[in-house]
């Protein structure tokens, strides 16, 4: 652990960035999902690209436990099970090809997909005013695959799953509860791939994660309190706006 501390957390700036990411993780997992993608570039700047993904994962799981505990009764399990098997396939594909993926091209590609989906959803909401929800297996399959792929490569599936759950028109608490269980389960499933295939999780990296746990708890408290302030309609558009900003951030 001390080797990693000396190598990466060797300046006050890096310590501050590390704890900021802990707070953002807690906030993202309790409803403010737009904060999630900000973590990816910050942690990569501190620990490097691939290692940062493995370091962040146990922190995400720790925050998932709070989200699941607080919002568990609001989960819509049908939408979890529709997407989860496809997400696992996406994780496996990302694991196999992770070493040869061009990060910049991948991020641009995903940003275009997310923004296109948001535009189509807004056109449906505002112009067509259709109540038809894309409640089909192929819709869950496409976004599940994309979500699994992006979460394995960079823990960056927030916008993809936000698009999936927003399209289902879930109420605020159901949105958060369903997302909480989905990410908790998929993050647990990712752990063996990080340990045995990518070797980005070890006892040393987990000890680093534990140092950041108090910051995550602070973020969880902030996130829960802020979410309570948003009415249903404002929450929906807040998630849409934050998802758009997150997608643009990938560019």
**Worst-scoring range by mean pLDDT, 12-26, 158-172, 196-210?**
158-172
pTM here is 0.83
Q: Who contacts 101 (Cβ-Cβ below 8 Å, separation ≥6)?
A: 94, 153
Give yes or no for residue 32 having a pLDDT over 60: yes
Query: How many domains are contained in the chain?
Result: 1
Q: pLDDT value at position 184?
A: 95
Average pLDDT over all residues of the chain: 82
- Name residue, tokens 């000890």: 207
Give whole-number Cα distances, 182 to 13, 96, 179, 227, in Å: 33, 22, 5, 19
Nearest to 213 by CA among 57, 23, 80: 23
The interaxial angle of helices 158-167 and 232-250, nearest 10 deg, is 140
Task: For residue 75, give the DSSP letter.
Answer: -
Give whole-number Cα distances, 30 to 20, 39, 122, 148, 166, in Å: 16, 15, 24, 20, 16
Q: What is the span of the domain harbouring residue 90? A: 2-250
Helices (H), ranges, 155-202: 158-167, 172-192
């Amino acid at each position: 652990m001390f080797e990693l501390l000396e190598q990466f957390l060797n300046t006050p700036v890096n310590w501050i960035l590390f704890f900021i990411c802990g707070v953002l993780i807690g906030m993202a997992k309790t409803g403010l999902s737009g904060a999630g993608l900000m973590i990816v570039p910050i942690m990569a700047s501190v620990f490097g690209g691939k290692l940062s993904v493995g370091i962040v994962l146990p922190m995400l799981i720790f925050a998932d436990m709070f989200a699941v505990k607080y919002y568990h009764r609001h989960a819509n399990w049908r939408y979890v099970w529709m997407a989860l098997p496809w997400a696992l396939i996406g994780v496996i594909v990302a694991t196999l090809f992770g070493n040869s993926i061009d990060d910049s091209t991948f991020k641009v590609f995903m940003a275009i997909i997310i923004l296109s989906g948001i535009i189509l959803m807004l056109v449906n909401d505002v112009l067509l005013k259709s109540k038809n929800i894309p409640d089909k297996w192929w819709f869950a399959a496409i976004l599940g695959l994309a979500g699994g792929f992006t979460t394995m490569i960079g823990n960056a599936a927030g916008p993809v799953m936000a698009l999936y759950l927003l399209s289902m028109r879930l109420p605020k608490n159901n949105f958060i509860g369903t997302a909480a269980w989905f990410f908790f389960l998929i993050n647990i499933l990712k752990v063996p791939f990080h340990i045995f295939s990518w070797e980005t999780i070890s006892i040393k990296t987990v000890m680093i994660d534990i140092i950041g746990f108090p910051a995550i708890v602070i973020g969880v408290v902030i996130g829960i309190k802020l979410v309570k302030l948003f009415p249903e309609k404002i929450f929906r558009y807040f998630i849409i706006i934050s998802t758009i900003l997150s997608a643009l951030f990938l560019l």
